[in-house]
Amino acid sequence: MITKQLEHLPEEMQQKVLKYVKSLQKTGLKGVPGSSITKFAGCISAEDLELMKKEIESGCERIEGDEW
C-alpha cells in the first residue's frame, strides 16, 4: 500500500519520506521497564492513596463550562 504510493513520487520526495521514516525509528519509546520500579510498590500509605483517590474523583470528574 505505502510502497505503491511511493513508486509514484519523484525521487526527491522519496528521499524526504525515507528521511522521515528514519527519524521515526530514532525516536523510540524511552523509559524504564516496569520491573525496575517494583521496589516502590507499597511505599504510598493507604491513607495517602485514599486522599489521592478522593481528590481525583472530586477534581477530575467535572466540566468547567467557562474554561472551554
Per-residue confidence (pLDDT) for residue 45, from 0 to 100: 94
Q: What is the pTM of this model?
A: 0.39
Helix (H, G, I), strand (E, B) or coil at 46: helix
What is the per-residue pLDDT for 68?
A: 61
Min mean pLDDT across 10-14, 15-19, 21-25 is at 21-25
Q: Which three cell numbers stand for residue 28?
A: 523510540
Give 53's Cβ-side CA count (13 Å radius). 7
pLDDT tens digits for 19-68?
Answer: 999 888 876 667 888 888 899 999 999 999 999 999 888 877 667 777 76
Name residue, grid cell 526527491.
12
d(CA 65, CA 68) in angstroms, rounded, equals: 6
Nearest to 6 by CA among 26, 21, 27, 23: 21
